[in-house]
Amino acid sequence: MTFIGKPLEAIDTPALIVDMHKLEENILRVHRATFDAGLDIRPHIKSHKTPEIAQMQVRAGAVGITCAKLGEAEVMATAGIEDIFIAYSLVGETKMRRLVALAKRTPRLSISAESLEAARQASSAFDAAGIELDVMIEVDVGAGRTGVQPERAVAFADQVAEMPALNIVGMMGYASHFAYTRRGEAALAEGAAEEGRVIGEIAGDLAAAGHEMHRISGGSTPTAGRYQEGCGLTEIRSGSYVFYDRNQVDLGAAPMEQVALSVLATVVATPTPERAIIDAGTKGLSQQVGSVSDGYGWLPEVPGAKVVRINDEHGFVDVREAVRPLEIGEKVQVIPARGPTCVNLYDWLYAVRGGVVEDAWRIAARGRNT
């Protein structure tokens, strides 16, 4: 049976839903603000893993896309995306063989470089294949995740530049500490500016040492659409702005009305007047990451109802402060704490417009985690 053309409530639950109008608006708004600042946008697709959405982003002016996993990039290349950046350290023989094969069928492919070991492996593999690979020097700009330490950036780039098959085309940093520690419009705009200053300064050092800086890449979702002209970056990699989620709302990145993603769930039990149980738990809503928001799910149509606890297959909705009780069999939309980990649990994404199912998209890069 198909759900297309039917009301949202016809979908069997739990199911992942995207509001098409909000999705389109989110893409247009963030892209327009980025273009107005004279910057490129190269969205990270790990948030949605869905070729149809990547294609919407490209049609809305994205210069290309960013992937974390080689498996995601393979899916997106097959879907016809022509400019792909893999912002992830790829190491090992299997990964190198797959990377060369991908490069041969992708018009513009680039990867990040942050260790001599990984860079040498890539250079050898591409040299043997007789082709070259564009690389972005990854610098740890303070988030303490991956990337060479800033004081080693120039020396590292000098060594990469010596490798026969690699072309340095720019640098990248991930500055979550300038985004996820801030709350509200002014603080997020200041975070975007600080990120641009820090990354731009290191890019300046690299350029002064003779390395081409065609692309200076940053970005995260709370700061998406908040980068200014001359900020020090040329390219923004934000991704979750397509959907937003409760964490982003609580950070002040977007109002609740702009959240495009929800889980459609059914109330399966109302064992006590205080508690309703829905059929989405850790395997349908995911745990939140970090501690931005207090809870696991929010019911926008039933203000006051909140998922306060989750087991594998059960969501515990506290209805004590809800505007009305929930009834067994009722279908409810639930806003997740964090979108990307929630999307990663589903095989299908239902595109809904005005309460009617418009399309069902395979989340084709889900599970492509190697």
Q: Which is nearer to its own copies, 159 or 344 (CB)?
A: 344
By CB under 8 A, residue 344 contacts its own copies? yes
Q: Which is nearer to its own copies, 34 or 89 (CB)?
A: 89
By CB under 8 A, residue 286 contacts its own copies? yes
Listed residue (222, 243, 258, 290) closest to 49, CA to CA: 243
Q: Are 221 and 253 in contact (CB under 8 A)?
A: yes
- What track of x and - describes contact with its own copies for positions 165 through 194 (by CB under 8 A)? ------------------------------
With CB under 8 A as the contact rule, the residue among 42, 48, 306, 314 that binds its own copies is 314
Q: How far is CA 68 from CA 3, 87, 145, 369, in A?
A: 32, 5, 14, 9
Element (H, E) at 352: strand 348-353
Interface of this chain with its own copies, residues 92 to 111, rule: CB under 8 A? 92, 94-95
Q: How far is CA 3 from CA 11, 49, 79, 370, in A?
A: 6, 21, 24, 32
Provide the token pair at 266.
Answer: 């059914």
Say how many residues make up the chain.
370
By CB under 8 A, residue 347 contacts its own copies? yes
Q: How far is it, in rounded angstroms, from Cα 140 to Cα 155?
A: 14
Name every residue whose Cβ is closer than 8 Å to that of residue 83 and which is 6 or more positions away in sequence: 42, 63, 64, 65, 106, 107, 108, 109
To the nearest whole angstrom, how small is the minimum distance from the Cβ of residue 214 to its own copies? Answer: 24
To the nearest whole angstrom, how small is the minimum distance from the Cβ of residue 255 to its own copies? Answer: 24
With CB under 8 A as the contact rule, the residue among 8, 14, 37, 173 that binds its own copies is 14
- What track of x and - describes contact with its own copies for positions 31 through 50 (by CB under 8 A)? ---------------x----
By CB under 8 A, residue 69 contacts its own copies? yes
By CB under 8 A, residue 12 contacts its own copies? yes
Q: Are 215 and 169 in contact (CB under 8 A)?
A: yes
By CB under 8 A, residue 319 contacts its own copies? no
Listed residue (41, 55, 49) closest to 69, CA to CA: 49
By CB under 8 A, residue 90 contacts its own copies? yes
Q: Binders of its own copies: how many residues, by CB under 8 A?
A: 60
Give me the residues that bind its own copies (CB under 8 A), please.
Answer: 12-15, 46, 68-69, 88-92, 94-95, 114-115, 117-118, 121, 140, 144-149, 266-272, 275, 277, 279, 282-284, 286-289, 310-314, 316, 328-329, 340-341, 344-347, 367, 369-370
